[in-house]
Each structure stands twice: as C-alpha cells, then as structure tokens.
Amino acid sequence: MANATACMDAASKSITNIEKEIQVLQTSIANTRAGRGLEDNVELKTLMEENIKLKHRLEILQAAIAKEGADSPTSSNISIIGQLQQVFSEAIRKAFPGVPFDAVITISTSPKFGDYQCNSAMQIAQHLKQQSIKSSPREVAQKLVEQLQSPIVCVDKLEIAGAGYEGIVVPIIEKKRVIVDFSSPNVAKEMHVGHLRSTIIGDSICRFLEYLGHDVLRINHIGDWGTQFGMLIAHLQEKFPNFQTVSPPISDLQAFYKESKIRFDSDEAFKKRAYECVVKLQSGEPSYLKAWNLICDVSRKEFQIIYNRLDVKLIERGESFYQSRMQKIVQELKQAQFLEEDDGRLIMWGEDRSGIPLTVVKSDGGFTYDTSDMAAIKQRLHEEKADWLIYVTDAGQATHFQTIFSCAKRAKILDDSKHRVDHVGFGVVLGEDGKKFKTRSGDTVKLAELLDEGLKRAMDKLVQKERNLVLTPEELTAAQESVAYGCIKYADLSHNRNNEYVFSFDKMLEDKGNTAVYLLYAYTRIRSIARNCGGDFANNMQKVIDSTDIKLEHEKEWKLAKVLLRFTDVMLLIMKNLSLHHLCEFVYEVCTTFSEFYDSEIIKVYASRILLCEATSRVLGKCFDILGLKPVHKI
Ligand SMILES: NC(=[NH2+])NCCC[C@H](N)C(=O)O
C-alpha cells in the first residue's frame, strides 16, 4: 500500500473514456425512456415505476450515508477514512485557503466510483458562490486533484466523478468513563427474552467499549425495591412464620409471587398489611430487611446461573441502592421548585413540557421507577463521575428515558456539553409464527429452558454433521456450548436492534449465510491454515511477521486486504450509533471475502499470503471477542 502511486494521467484518460461511454449510454437511455422500440410494454412500465421508487429510496440512503460520513472522526492513523480526510483536508486548505471546513470522505456508494469518495467539491463550490466566486464542483474537484499530485499512502488511483454531498467533520473520541445499565431484570418476576436481549446487547456494547480502552462500569439495575415487596414479605410472614431461623422453600419464586398477588387482590386485610410491610422495609427494620434479602437471594441465584452460562459480567446495583438518594433528590427538586402538584402526586416536566411528566412522588408518598432513575442519573454523573451513560432496555422505555434526560438537564444534573447519554432501545422478540415469543402452551419462555434447548439443538446439529465421530467428548461439549450460546447471541446482535426480531433456532443454526455457525466454522478453518503450514507459521508467527512484508498481488488479495482495513471505520461507526449489526455485517463480509480469496486459483502459497490469513484471523478474533462469541479450537 505504502508505495502505491496516484496515476493522474490514467485518471484523466479514463475520465475522457468514461465521458464518451456516458454519452453513448445517455443516447440509448433517452431512446429507451422515450419508449422507442418498446411501446406498450407493460413489464417495462412496471419496471420504470419501480425504478422511480428505488431512486427515491437511494436518495434517502445516500443522504444518510453522507450524514454518517460527515460525522466521521479525523485523526486516527489506522482509519482509512481518517487518513484520507487528513490528506484531502490538507488539499482543500492549499487549493482554497479561505474555505473553513475539512474534507468529507465516505465509503463509495458503488464500486464504479472506487473504494472511497470525497464528497466536498459541491460544498466548496457553494461556499465559493457565496463569496461571489464562480466555480463548478468539477472545477473544484480538478483543483483538489492537482493538489494531490504526489503519491498518497493508501491511494492507488484518483478519479473525478459526478456530484457529491455535503457535511461537517467532528473530531475523534477520547477515553471516557462509561456506565452501561443493562440486563436489569426484576426480583420475583421472571427474567424474560426482553431481558435476554438487554443482556446480550449490553454485554456486547461493554466489550466493544472496553476494547476501545474506555473505563466501563457494567451495572445491573435490578428491580428490587418496588411495592411488590410489601405483599411478598406479608405472604412470607404468613406462610413461613419462622423464616428468620429456617430458610423458607421458595425456590419457585414466581409461583410464590403469584400466590401473594392473589392474596393481595382478594383480601383487604392482607393488602393493608402489605402496605405496612413496604413502609417498614423502606424505613430499614431488620426483620423486614432480612425477609427482603431472602427473597432477593432466590432471584439473584437464578439470574447468576444465566450470566455464568452466557459469560456475562455485571455488578448488581438495584433500585434499593438509591433509597436514601431518592429521598435526597426529591428534597432538592422540591426546593428548586421543579415539582408540581397534580392530583395528589408530585410531577416534574422535562425542558419543553411536552410528552408525559415524571411522577416523582406518588399520592401515598411512595417513590416510583421515575424517582429511582432520577436518583440514579445523578449518582452516576456526579458520584461516579461518568462521562457517558448508556441504558439498554426495550424500545418501549424510550419515552421514559427521554423524559429522565430532559428533567436531568432542567435540574442541571446532566450537561450536554460534558456528558453523553444514550438510550439503546431494541424491538420485541417474536416467535416463528410472528406473534409475541411464547411457549406452545402460551406461557412465557423461561430463559434457562431456552438455553437448554439451544444446547440440545446445537448438539443435534453437530451430530448431523458427524462431528461426534471426529471430536473427543470434551471437544464436542466445547463445540456444543460455543455453537449454542454463540448462535443465540449472534442472531440477536446481527439484526438491527431497533427492529423486532424473530427467534428461530432453525435459522440461527443454519451453516450458510450470516450465522454464528457459518462464522465459527470459517474462523476455525482460517486458524488452521497457518498451523497446517508447520515450521515458524505454526510455532513462531511473530518471527514470520517481523521478517515478512505483506505483498498484495492477486486481485482477491487486494479485495480481502481492503475489507480488513475497514475494521477501524466500522468501529467508529458503532461508536456513534451503538448498533452492533454493523460489526456482524463486517465479520460476515470478511469471511466470505476470505473464502473467495482462499478458494480462488491462487495455488502458490508463500509467507505473505499466510500473513494475510493471520491478519484475517486476528481481525475476526477481535470481532468475536466483542460479539461475545467463543470460538473453539476444533469444531
Ligand atoms: N435504569 C433503568 N431504568 N434500567 C432499566 C431497568 C429495567 C427494568 N427493571 C425492566 O425490567 O424493565
């Protein structure tokens, strides 16, 4: 790459050629458009209508891409976009000293425009026009290209194409203290597939941020402090009066919850006692705290089994942690006159008084989910001194968090110029019938059972592929877990998280297409290439790396190298939108491009090529880490 040159002569020749070609094409398009020779063709008509719609969608997409590119960071030396931005921005400064903005570089929308494009010519031309200097975008582009005469690292060829886009450039990120609030199930209620999504997405976001070197605090904001504890404790006292000395058999906590709810709804005296229990618990009476702890422990153990199986690490800091802080923040908000009375409740509006206000204090004086999130946001920004807060929950809670953010701004807890806050929402999980994910009998699916089924299906798949005949029992179990948990995580992460997604073991266990199974196989194959070459390749790769230059000769080698080099830009994109499906798309592209390279008729194998395999496997290895996939040695 380093000794590549900018072939300007070739560029202008090919521009002339392309222009000629365009003319020929335009004439034939004009003929076709006018319907000459194709009169009364119904199919053509439909296609033309379709085309108009597609064009419109393309415009929308291009605008979105231009926006993405516009925000791309500039100063990374591994980012191709970053490097090109620097070089092109330099050219802008030289060719147009008065122009106050940097270059905008994006990945090309079409291979015929090369690999990357600079979209600034139009914007510069417009700027010049405002200064009463007449210059067409093409002339601007020509001047820029003149500035770029000497060889540029990573540029093989420069060409001027049609109209470009506009945008502004934002500088690169620095190390941040980030708090990620994810998983966050509720005590005594079941941990459902929504919590599974939050767990998978949240864990992967943490892994991603940790990989980038951020200081990440993983918080499990468990629902452990609601009014439901009143009835749970009242029921516990009633059913197991000696719970303080003999531990009560409440392992089926959901059943226990249901029982207590029935009592609560049908028995006024019980209801009254339940309310008294909440008050006693919240004032910290020891025997009530003990009962509460017993109940929380049952859930805690259940949750932990799931986290261990999925290899997810979290710090438990539930709603109860904020009890004293809730009292404090309510006082502060009252004093600053942010709270308004409404039907006995105390409410708080966000900055523009639109939407729904928070209920900070209920009419009975109790606190709510809103109160705990106001206390939590303050604790996280002011005590933990976080720069960036991320909340991972279902999209249904988007309004809740927008209001929390807005109220926090109003109360000067959150400062947009210092802090970044994101609600990372996700769509609901559907069953294969397109309805809400349920068991055949219509119950909610228990997570432990879902993971068990994953294990069973993964084993069926491995046996179907006769891997049980090749692998040792230990290797087979390792492969089974890798496939089962990998496919559940990957199926979730590879979909745009904003959309609902259909949970289908059959689909996620397919070994073709963008699935964990395909990727795990591909990765194991790539890893074995160097090993099978023996010698230093198998035993001292570092030595090979230190003594070999990667030479890219074959077209497929170039293609693979260019895909690999996009890694940084993919990471920077995820930094902005926290959408991991971009990484999944990238990983899939790496694997398919690798297959093209590996299966093409490159017969000669030498060090440089093995290094390209090594680079591929290292990039993939990093991506798998981030996605929480655990590749195995043998599969
Ligand atoms: N800070 C927060 N509100 N975090 C999310 C909590 C999620 C909540 N426990 C639920 O199950 O929906």
- Write the DSSP string, 485-542: HHHHHHHHHTS-TTS-EE--HHHHT-SSSSSHHHHHHHHHHHHHHHHHH-HHHHH-HH
The verdict on 332 and 293 lying in the same domain is no
Do 623 and 520 contact (CB within 8 A), yes or no? no
pLDDT at position 603, please?
61
Least confident interval from 69-78, 219-228, 434-443, 585-594: 69-78
The verdict on 454 and 549 lying in the same domain is yes
pLDDT at position 6, please?
39
Q: Is residue 413 part of a domain?
A: yes
| Confidence label for 164 from pLDDT (cuts 50, 70 and 90) | very low
- Residue 333: give its domain's CATH number: 3.40.50.620
More confident site: 583 or 88: 583
223 lines ligand 1 (CB under 6 A): yes
More confident site: 485 or 44: 485
Pocket test of ligand 1: the residue of 182, 221, 299, 371 to mutate, having most ligand atoms within 8 Å of its CB, is 221
Least confident interval from 156-165, 188-197, 241-250, 386-395: 156-165
The verdict on 326 and 291 lying in the same domain is no
Q: What percent of the chain has pLDDT over 90?
A: 59
Q: Which ligand 1 atom sits closest to the C-alpha of 181?
A: 4
| Confidence label for 144 from pLDDT (cuts 50, 70 and 90) | confident
For ligand 1, the distance from its centroid to the CA atom of residue 579, given in whole angstroms, is 20
For residue range 360-383, what is the model confidence (pLDDT) as tens digits?
999 989 999 999 999 999 999 999
Distance CA 454, CA 169 (A): 45
Do 501 and 430 contact (CB within 8 A), yes or no? yes
Q: Is residue 280 part of a domain?
A: yes
Which tokens is 65 given?
A: 């891409």
Range of the domain at 398: 177-222+319-426
Q: Is residue 168 part of a domain?
A: no
The verdict on 135 and 188 lying in the same domain is no
3-state secondary structure 364-409: CCCCCHHHHHHHHHHHHHHHCCCCEEEEEEEHHHHHHHHHHHHHHH
The verdict on 9 and 61 lying in the same domain is yes
Instruction: State which of 71, 88, 104 marks the end of a domain.
Output: 71
pLDDT mean across residues, the chain = 87
373 lines ligand 1 (CB under 6 A): yes
pLDDT at position 195, please?
95
Pocket test of ligand 1: the residue of 184, 321, 399 to mutate, having most ligand atoms within 8 Å of its CB, is 184
Q: Which ligand 1 atom sits closest to the C-alpha of 394?
A: 12
For residue range 306-363, what is the model confidence (pLDDT) as tens digits?
999 999 999 999 999 999 999 999 999 999 999 999 999 999 999 999 889 999 999 9
The verdict on 258 and 197 lying in the same domain is no
pLDDT for 581 beyond 50: yes
What number is the average pLDDT over the span 442-460?
93
For residue range 532-554, what is the model confidence (pLDDT) as tens digits?
888 888 899 889 888 888 888 88
Q: What is the CA radius of gyration of the chain?
A: 30
Q: At 218, is the secondary structure helix, strand, or coil?
A: strand
Which of 317, 267, 263, 320 is CA-nearest to residue 292? 320
pLDDT for 48 beyond 70: no
The verdict on 505 and 605 lying in the same domain is yes
pLDDT at position 214, please?
95
The verdict on 190 and 274 lying in the same domain is no
What number is the average pLDDT over the span 517-534?
92
**Count of alpha carbons within 13 angstroms of residue 180, beta-carbon side:** 28
Q: How far is CA 383 from CA 216, 273, 321, 559, in A?
A: 15, 37, 13, 49
What number is the average pLDDT over the span 40-47?
66
Report angle CA 385, 387, 392 to the nearest 5 degrees. 105
pLDDT for 23 beyond 90: no
Q: Is residue 157 part of a domain?
A: no
For residue range 376-430, what is the model confidence (pLDDT) as tens digits?
999 999 999 999 999 999 999 999 999 999 999 999 999 999 999 999 999 999 9
pLDDT at position 63, please?
61
- Residue 599: give its domain's CATH number: 1.10.730.10
> Which of the listed ranges 64-73, 278-287, 603-612 does the model predict with the highest average pLDDT?
278-287
pLDDT at position 16, please?
52
Do 106 and 68 contact (CB within 8 A), yes or no? yes
What number is the average pLDDT over the span 5-28?
53
What number is the average pLDDT over the span 618-623?
95
Q: Is residue 167 part of a domain?
A: no
For ligand 1, the distance from its centroid to the CA atom of residue 134, given in whole angstroms, is 57
319 lines ligand 1 (CB under 6 A): no
pLDDT at position 120, please?
84
**Count of alpha carbons within 13 angstroms of residue 236, beta-carbon side:** 30
Given phi > 0 = left and psi -120 to 50 = alpha, else beta, which region is 186? beta
The verdict on 39 and 84 lying in the same domain is no
For residue range 588-610, what is the model confidence (pLDDT) as tens digits?
999 999 999 988 766 666 788 88
Which residues, at least 6 apart from 505, have a Cβ–Cβ distance to it below 8 Å? 453, 454, 457, 487
Instruction: State which of 405, 426, 447 marks the end of a domain.
Output: 426
Model ipTM over 0.90: yes
Considering only CA atoms, which residue is closest to atom 6 of ligand 1?
184
Pocket test of ligand 1: the residue of 393, 404, 405 to mutate, having most ligand atoms within 8 Å of its CB, is 393
The verdict on 99 and 240 lying in the same domain is no
More confident site: 338 or 80: 338
The verdict on 363 and 447 lying in the same domain is no
Q: Is residue 368 part of a domain?
A: yes
For ligand 1, the distance from its centroid to the CA atom of residue 313, given in whole angstroms, is 17
- Residue 95: give its domain's CATH number: 3.30.1360.70
Distance CA 408, CA 374 (A): 7
What number is the average pLDDT over the span 143-151?
81
Residue with tokens 């997810």, as numbered in its chain = 312
One-letter amino acid for residue 631 of the chain: P
Distance CA 136, CA 125 (A): 6
Which of 85, 87, 79 is CA-nearest to residue 104? 85
Q: Is residue 165 part of a domain?
A: no
| Confidence label for 439 from pLDDT (cuts 50, 70 and 90) | confident
Distance CA 421, CA 352 (A): 18
Instruction: State which of 292, 314, 336 marks the end of a domain.
Output: 314
The verdict on 334 and 403 lying in the same domain is yes
Q: Which ligand 1 atom sits closest to the C-alpha of 189?
A: 11
181 lines ligand 1 (CB under 6 A): yes
Which tokens is 415 given?
A: 């400062």
pLDDT at position 58, please?
67
**Count of alpha carbons within 13 angstroms of residue 427, beta-carbon side:** 17
- Partners of residue 391 on adjacent β-strands: 181, 423
228 lines ligand 1 (CB under 6 A): no
For ligand 1, the distance from its centroid to the CA atom of residue 326, given in whole angstroms, is 16
Q: Is residue 128 part of a domain?
A: yes
| Confidence label for 26 from pLDDT (cuts 50, 70 and 90) | low
User: Based on the structure, what is the number of domains in the chain?
Assistant: 5
For ligand 1, the distance from its centroid to the CA atom of residue 196, given in whole angstroms, is 13
Pocket test of ligand 1: the residue of 218, 397, 447 to mutate, having most ligand atoms within 8 Å of its CB, is 397
